[in-house]
Amino acid sequence: MDSVKIRVVIPVSTDKWNDSVKADYERVKEPKTVIDVIHLQHGPEAIQSEYDEANAAHHVLKEVAKILPQDYDAIIIYCFSDPALSGAREISTIPVLGIGESSQLFAMGLGDRCGIITTIEQSVARIRRKLRARGISGRFPTIRPLNIPVLEYDQREKVMESALGVARIMVEQDGVEALILGCGSLFGIQERIGDELGIPVVEPGIVTLKHAEMLVGLGLTHSKRSYMIPLPVKEN
Amino acid sequence: MDSVKIRVVIPVSTDKWNDSVKADYERVKEPKTVIDVIHLQHGPEAIQSEYDEANAAHHVLKEVAKILPQDYDAIIIYCFSDPALSGAREISTIPVLGIGESSQLFAMGLGDRCGIITTIEQSVARIRRKLRARGISGRFPTIRPLNIPVLEYDQREKVMESALGVARIMVEQDGVEALILGCGSLFGIQERIGDELGIPVVEPGIVTLKHAEMLVGLGLTHSKRSYMIPLPVKEN
Amino acid sequence: MDSVKIRVVIPVSTDKWNDSVKADYERVKEPKTVIDVIHLQHGPEAIQSEYDEANAAHHVLKEVAKILPQDYDAIIIYCFSDPALSGAREISTIPVLGIGESSQLFAMGLGDRCGIITTIEQSVARIRRKLRARGISGRFPTIRPLNIPVLEYDQREKVMESALGVARIMVEQDGVEALILGCGSLFGIQERIGDELGIPVVEPGIVTLKHAEMLVGLGLTHSKRSYMIPLPVKEN
Amino acid sequence: MDSVKIRVVIPVSTDKWNDSVKADYERVKEPKTVIDVIHLQHGPEAIQSEYDEANAAHHVLKEVAKILPQDYDAIIIYCFSDPALSGAREISTIPVLGIGESSQLFAMGLGDRCGIITTIEQSVARIRRKLRARGISGRFPTIRPLNIPVLEYDQREKVMESALGVARIMVEQDGVEALILGCGSLFGIQERIGDELGIPVVEPGIVTLKHAEMLVGLGLTHSKRSYMIPLPVKEN
Amino acid sequence: MDSVKIRVVIPVSTDKWNDSVKADYERVKEPKTVIDVIHLQHGPEAIQSEYDEANAAHHVLKEVAKILPQDYDAIIIYCFSDPALSGAREISTIPVLGIGESSQLFAMGLGDRCGIITTIEQSVARIRRKLRARGISGRFPTIRPLNIPVLEYDQREKVMESALGVARIMVEQDGVEALILGCGSLFGIQERIGDELGIPVVEPGIVTLKHAEMLVGLGLTHSKRSYMIPLPVKEN
Amino acid sequence: MDSVKIRVVIPVSTDKWNDSVKADYERVKEPKTVIDVIHLQHGPEAIQSEYDEANAAHHVLKEVAKILPQDYDAIIIYCFSDPALSGAREISTIPVLGIGESSQLFAMGLGDRCGIITTIEQSVARIRRKLRARGISGRFPTIRPLNIPVLEYDQREKVMESALGVARIMVEQDGVEALILGCGSLFGIQERIGDELGIPVVEPGIVTLKHAEMLVGLGLTHSKRSYMIPLPVKEN
């Protein structure tokens, strides 16, 4: 294989995150991987509710539909909510990964009791529902919010202090043994949390890139029996 | 209360079902209930995959956003897939019901082991994921498809024969004790199946209308702690 | 259908609750519903243990056996413990509802994490067992007692204050999103709790009346495969 | 300890089983154990439904209430349905065992996937509910009926042939690794089934006697926090 | 049966516990039981990790392989971690019991919500994994450590005070209804804890002896379909 | 990072597999990865039971203990049974992976209902227990054996035909959507199965190499709170 071409779809209508995701991915990708980051032209600027998820999902699918198997080897939907993940798999013959699912399965290989730090209180119930839909909620006893909206995530010091405090409560009170930073934009602060609390901290975006490279390398994609090709239907 | 106004959103871009849903609802509604059925102007004509769900969901939300609490008392999303149900609840202060969830909870009051007949093979895995997300999959040991696409559902005899055959297998082999006709459009054939097999057969659309009337009568709506109001976000 | 005749069996040997249940039901019933409330001539005056349940159950069954399908359309066993519910369903061809089961399934349609306030500490373990038998305990993370015996429930102010305090703990510490007042006699205080805490509060008695009207309207009853007709056996 | 006095309550209103239970128990009891078998004066002659269970339960409780701690060391309710087990524990300070629960926990120590042979089809759903209430249904993937009413159990050859056939299906098709003969009256045929199929076969009555002797020997009884003493209540 | 010969394998390489286990077992065994206690010649002196378990397991298997069915009737592996339990059952035709599994199943017969006190923090996650492998973790909501290494267990006063304190937290905060002293060496302090907290306290070693006597008396052993005879393989 | 050094421990006492594992790994590894394959000097030649697992485990730990963090970056235990996996993690500060766990978590990212083909009937129950211990058995509804002992796996045609037949049953009857070849030695036949049945087929060995490279690249290792460092203990 000459190169592995991965298209990253940031499912929000702002280019605010493109450069940092691109830069982070460039740093950790395999040499032969070629990363290409796009965002949505339309839809919400942030995904913080199931309402936002639904408003972004169809735009994600339009982007996925445009990605031809001859041009790309895998697709990453870069949002912990995994908007449109199942639908995208249905219409795609190359691997489609969501940073939520990929990081959750990965964390289960690191520790028994996993926890998720999310952005705001509004996200706790919807993440819980996703874990349950995957049949893995028994391994995720706790989800706690930072209570910082995602668009304020460039205030790194504030986010860092808050994340450390919440993580400490999760380790000491909830018995968390491995932690996921449940937001694509927390990138870069995992080491400090891991160092201070002595548990592995998973950064979903990075993990998912490696997951994608792995699938491509193995020549595997999601099961078309779990994500069957949709019957054609007229769209108005 | 003078009247109970319920808006039914059929989340597909065809008016093919409006009249029959309206007629069926008129027959079973409480006298003071006023039914108003709309369909989507845009989106897929049928929902038979998670791809279709996502393509319909945002159109559903647009319709839900237009429904003012002073004008309506409850909203029914008339599709067994419950597209946009959580998102709609987030933005609504009146009850929003999906015929999938409502009929599943209702069936659990009729029998221990519940089964679902769905339209096509493509729907089995996605219904299974929804049951799991609700924490009720232990009560639903089996889901089987008719293998008839939804748009051929006006061929009543064919659908009837097929449904009877599948239902019989579910009772005799899978031990089903109560059955849901997992599609809004199977309306009307439940009695024959129930009579021949001796189990209660749930027609989701009707059940959900009664569920809606019940919620309105009780002055209750979904929890805003499960479905929190989304933070405002810019939409492009 | 001319009228819907519902017999309410209050499964305790006191008429203390008949009038208030009747009055409450009259207020919320559909016009065509005819309510008829009876209590037991024999058995315990309150049900606060599995011992009490067993001592009431056979008296309930005697009453249920007397209820002829030509005279009634549905039966409500008015106690959150649902004494004799399964047995009554076995011998009945009209719907038999228990206010425990009906309200639990209904609450699951309102929120993800449901809680139950019960009367006394003695009831926590037995309610937990019932939830588990229904396969829904994953949706009910917490049950807490008021620590007020049921026969002191006419002291409304005391009950109200206590219920508010317990409910607040359940919301803030246990993360409850929808609440059931797990006792037939707490009737009427739900609004205040709901208003102060911002979550839906389910009053089991009322919900079950509407559930019964719904079943009758739909012509459905419990599955005779889940609740099979008993083989005849000699009774001494 | 001089002797261990165990009262066996056969919760049916016939003395048909007293002698054989007594004889079987005499054969396997510890020397110092004194067995005393009673049956109910009133109630159903067999328990084959939850209706029968409820009609027997209060008579069981009356018998249990008469058993003074100074006179007996343990009580066995000799029916796989465990009628009134929880209620009896609430009012008793000596161990009360049901042959259903005791044999189920015991079978889990013999094999991973346990199965139960019951008498008639009517019992399958109610046993399933009991396993679920105990949180152990994951270990009991299958329950199958002989389809022979309990009162015909003295036709040993017929019962034997039927049980062997059903057991073979459970081993070969359902993957059962340990088997419970889920009826107090199948006593004595376990060896042949075990020999022919190569799996341990649990006879609930015997196991429960040994369980009772064990509890008495250890000076332990059920938790009064799981089975709290009922508040006194007037009985009419 | 003339006598019941039980070999107790203490799976650590010290004779430190032999005499006290022997003495305790002599006190509670049935008259016809003959107890014979051995320890390992090689391997770790204590088992406080899965590393220790693995280092002890093969030595346990060597001892089990030497135990001939003509010489013994049952084998007890005397450690709450149950090292080599499954492997020992595979190669043995007489019952092999582990004090972990036996006491866990036994505790489930005493109360609904069971708790385990273990020695050190290191053991919590590995006990949790064992409960989950048995499908019973839903009945064991809490495991808490004393934080006293097993080799300091002869300081009875210190252990007693610590155990009482931890047990109190488990009852009051975690809602524990029955308690297991999850270490073979805590022997003898159960009564005081039980008395002060009003819950049954299970001493695993004793329970397992009675379990073994019970199995031998019943002529039953573990299922060879759950623990199949290993194919012969060359050992180097 | 200059190179990634991975030591593969084949936990059997034969060099029969070393070359093929090495060759396969060389083919798929990243360029900078250096693979080094060892087998055990002592212990069983194959692992087909929990007896074999226990007899191999301590030899695995001895090898793991010799692997210094300055010399290696990750360790792979190359056997689907994952012998000594938890113990090895306790004593290691570099990632230790088992091809069972890694491939199971990976398969969950490919499809909803996963199946495992194992070698012989003896392995079904022990794999089931491992899935349950990981809390993921709900996603693995079926495990089926080839009924070919592992040492006959060089008869590729026979293994291939058998595997195809078993896989077909798992897809058609058990509804499997993604399949794991649950044995390290089936290497190379996955494509044909995948092609003929249209589902992804996971080869555990390869997946685990990529998992190891991923962990090393991310600088992450298993949680020391899930796999705590053992207290020092004297070994005799």
Q: What is the CATH number of the domain that holds B149?
A: 3.40.50.12500
Q: Is residue E188 part of a domain?
A: yes
Shared-domain flag, residues F93 and F106: no
Say yes or no: E105 and E200 in one domain.
yes
Tokens read off for C199: 């979550």
Of the candidates A13, A87, A122, which has its C-beta nearest B230's C-beta? A122
Cβ separation A87–B135 shorter than 8 A: no
Q: Quick one: pLDDT at residue D84?
A: 97
Distance from CA of F32 to the nearest CA of E (A): 32
Do the domain assignments include residue A231?
no
Residue D171: helix, strand or coil by DSSP?
helix
D181 touching chain E per CB within 8 A: no
C49 → closest Cβ in D125, D130, D230: D230
Task: Determine contact: F54 vs chain A, CB below 8 A.
Answer: no
Indicate the DSSP class of residue D12: S
Contact indicator for D178, E223 with CB cutoff of 8 Å = yes
Interface test with D, best of B108, B112, B173 (most D CBs within 10 A): B112
Residues F125 and F34 in one domain: no
Cα separation, A196 vs E161, whole angstroms:
33
CA F220-E149-E37 angle, 5° bins: 115
Number of Cβ within 10 Å of residue C173's Cβ equals 10
Give the pLDDT confidence score for residue C189 in this predicted structure.
76
In this prediction, residue C185 carries a pLDDT of 52
* Domain co-membership, A93 together with A43: yes
Residues of chain D with pLDDT under 70: 1, 150-151, 183-188
Is A199 close to F110, i.e. CB distance below 8 A? no
Contacts of F209 (CB under 8 A, 6+ apart): F6, F25, F28, F29, F33, F35, F76
* Cα F223 to Cα C41: distance, rounded to the nearest angstrom: 63
Chain D: closest CA distance from residue F125 (Å): 7
**Structural domain includes residue E80:** yes
- Give per-residue pLDDT as tens, E10-63: 999 999 999 999 999 999 999 999 999 999 999 999 999 999 999 999 999 999
Contact yes or no for D84/D61 (Cβ under 8 A): yes
Say yes or no to pLDDT of A185 above 70.
no
Looking at the structure, do residues D22 and D87 belong to the same domain, yes or no?
yes
What integer pLDDT is reported at residue E47 of this predicted model? 94
Probe site for chain D from E102, E110, E202, E207 (most D CB atoms < 10 A): E110
3 state SS of E121: coil
pLDDT tens sequence across B165-196: 999 999 999 999 999 998 655 556 778 888 88
The answer to whether residue D169 sits within a structural domain is yes
**Inter-chain Cβ pairs, chain A and chain B, closer than 8 A:** 149
Integer-rounded Cα radius of gyration of chain A: 17
Per the document, the length of chain D is 236
CA F186, CA F168: separation in Å to the nearest integer? 17
d(CA F98, CA D93) in angstroms, rounded, equals: 50
Cβ distance C44 to D120 less than 8 Å, yes or no, reads no
B101 touches chain C (CB under 8 A): yes
- How many CB atoms are closer than 10 A to CB F162? 16
Which residue do the tokens 């600027």 mark? A45
SS3 B94: coil
- Domain shared by D39 and D106, yes or no: no
3-class secondary structure, B89: helix
| pLDDT over 70 (residue A1) | no
Write out chain A residues lying below 8 Å of B91, CB-based: 51
The 10 Å Cβ neighbour count of residue E19 is: 10
Closest-approach residue (CA) in chain C for D58: C55
Which string of DSSP letters, residue by residue, matches chain A?
---EEEEEEE-SS-STTHHHHHHHHHHHS-TTEEEEEEE-SSSBSS--SHHHHHHHHHHHHHHHHH--TTT-SEEEE-STT-TTHHHHHHH-SS-EEEHHHHHHHHHHTT-SSEEEEESSTHHHHHHHHHHHHTT-GGG--EEEE----GGGTT-HHHHHHHHHHHHHHHHHTT--SEEEE-SGGGTT-HHHHHHHHTS-EE-HHHHHHHHHHHHHHHT----TTTSPPPPP--B-
CA E15 to chain C, closest CA, distance in angstroms equals 43
- Percentage above 70 pLDDT, chain B: 96
D129 CB near a chain B CB, below 8 Å? yes
Which DSSP string do the residues of F166-212 spell out, in sequence order? Answer: HHHHHHHTT--SEEEE-SGGGTT-HHHHHHHHTS-EE-HHHHHHHHH
Residues of A in contact with C136 (CB under 8 A): none
Is residue D44 within 8 Å of residue D56, measured between CB atoms? yes
Kindly give the parts of chain C with pLDDT less than 70.
1, 150-151, 183-188
Residue C219: other Cβ atoms inside 10 A: 13
pLDDT for E1 beyond 70: no
Q: Which of A84, A67, A98, A72 is nearest to A208 (CA)?
A: A98
Confidence tier at F119 by pLDDT (50, 70, 90): confident
Instruction: Tell me phi and psi for residue A37, to 5 degrees.
Output: -110, 125
Interface residue of A108, A112, A172 to substitute, partner E, most E CBs within 10 Å = A112
Helices (H) and strands (E) in chain D, counts: 8, 8
**For the packed helices F204-218 and F18-28, what is the interaxial angle rounded to 10 degrees?**
50
- For residue E88, what are the CA distances in angstroms to D105, E58, E60, E198? 21, 10, 8, 37
One domain, residues C161 and C122: yes
Q: How far is CA F227 from the centre of its chain?
A: 19
Query: Is a pLDDT exceeding 90 seen at residue F208?
Result: yes
- B41 in A contact zone (CB under 8 Å): yes
In a domain, A236, yes or no: no
The H or E element spanning position E107 is: helix E99-108
pLDDT of residue D151: 67
- Through-space distance between the first and last CA atoms of chain C, rounded to whole angstroms: 40
Q: What is the pTM of this model?
A: 0.96
Contacts of A187 (CB under 8 A, 6+ apart): A20, A21, A24, A203, A205, A206
* C-beta atoms of E133 and F129 within 8 A: yes
Structural domain of D33:
4-98+206-218
Is residue A33 included in any domain, yes or no? Answer: yes
The residue type found at F41 is Q
Q: What is the pLDDT of residue E2?
A: 81
Q: Rounded to whole angstroms, how far apart are CA atoms A65 and C164? A: 53
Give the mean pLDDT of A134-143.
Answer: 96
Per-residue pLDDT tens over the stretch D65-104: 999 989 999 999 999 999 999 999 999 999 999 999 999 9
- Residue F147 pLDDT: 86
pLDDT in tens, D142-152: 999 988 876 67
Q: Are both C86 and C127 inside the same structural domain?
A: no
Give E143 to chain C, closest Cα distance, Å: 18
- Residue in A closest to E125 by C-alpha: A112
F229 at interface of D, judged by CB pairs closer than 8 A: no
- Determine contact: D13 vs chain C, CB below 8 A: yes
What is the DSSP-derived secondary structure letter of residue E74? Answer: E
Chains within contact range of chain C (3+ C-beta pairs < 8 Å): A, B, D, E
H helices within C67-203, ranges in order? 85-91, 99-107, 122-133, 156-172, 190-197
**Does C177 touch chain A if contact means CB atoms closer than 8 Å?**
yes
pLDDT band for position A155 (cuts 50, 70, 90): confident
Would D234 be classed as within a structural domain? no
> How near does any CA of chain E get to the CA of A115, in Å?
15
| Alpha-carbon torsion (E167, E173, E178, E180), positive or negative | negative
Question: The tokens 């509604």 sit on which residue?
Answer: B29
Q: At what angle do helices F156-172 and F190-197 cross, to 10 degrees?
A: 30
Read off the pLDDT of each residue in F69-78 and give the average, rounded to a whole number. 96
C26 touches chain A (CB under 8 A): no
Which residues of chain B are within 8 Å of residue A224 when distances are taken between CB atoms? none
Q: E69 CB near a chain D CB, below 8 Å?
A: no
Measured between beta carbons, which residues in chain D are less than 8 angstroms from residue E135? 136, 138-139
Same domain, E92 and E152: no
Q: Do F200 and F128 belong together in one domain?
A: yes
- What integer best gives the mean pLDDT of chain B? 92
- Chain A residues whose CB is inside 8 A of the F111 CB are 222-223, 225-226
User: Is there a single domain that holds both residue D185 and residue D69?
Assistant: no
The greatest distance separating any two alpha carbons of chain E, rounded to the nearest whole angstrom, comes to: 55
Q: Is D203 helix (H, G, I), strand (E, B) or coil?
A: coil
Model confidence band, residue A228 (pLDDT cutoffs 50, 70, 90)? very high
Chains that touch D (3 or more CB pairs under 8 A): B, C, E, F
DSSP three-state, residue B10: strand
pLDDT at C213: 96
Sheet-wide strand order for B96-98: B33-39, B4-10, B74-77, B96-98
User: Count of residues for chain B?
Assistant: 236
* Per-residue DSSP letter, C77: E
Contact with chain B for residue A157, Cβ under 8 A: no
The domain tally of chain E equals 2
Residue C28 CA to residue C187 CA, distance in Å, equals: 12
B84 touches chain A (CB under 8 A): yes
Chain B touched by A227 (CB under 8 Å) = yes
* E strand or H helix at C201: strand C201-202
- Per the domain annotation, does C223 fall within a domain? no
Cβ distance of B233 and A135 shorter than 8 Å: no
Do residues F39 and F10 make contact, with C-beta atoms less than 8 angstroms apart?
A: yes
Residue E175 is encoded by which pair of tokens?
Answer: 């809602």
**Nearest residue to C183 via CA among C107, C80, C44, C67:** C80
Give E72→chain A minimum CA distance, Å.
39
> Which of F48, F58, F230 is opposite residue E230, by nearest beta carbon?
F48
Q: In the prediction, which pLDDT does F154 show?
A: 74
Confidence of residue E188 (pLDDT cuts 50, 70, 90): low
Residue D12 near residue D78 (C-beta atoms within 8 A): no
Integer Cα distance of F170 and F147 in angstroms: 15
E137-175 residue pLDDT tens:
999 999 999 888 766 777 778 888 888 999 999 999 999
Question: What ipTM was reported for this prediction?
Answer: 0.95
Is residue B185 within 8 Å of residue B153, measured between CB atoms? yes
Q: Does A223 touch chain F (CB under 8 A)?
A: yes
User: What's the one-letter identity of residue B51?
Assistant: Y
Residue D95 phi/psi, 5-degree rounding, is -60, 135
Tally C-beta pairs within 8 A across A and C.
5
- Composition of chain C by helix, strand, coil, percent to 5: 45, 15, 40
Average pLDDT over residues A154-177: 89
Same domain, F90 and F125: no
Q: How far is D62 from chain C (nearest CA, A)?
A: 9
Read off the pLDDT of residues F130-173 as tens digits, 9 standing for 90 and up: 999 999 999 999 999 988 876 677 777 888 888 899 999 999 99
* Pairs of CB atoms within 8 A across D/E: 111
Distance CA D2, CA C40 (A): 46
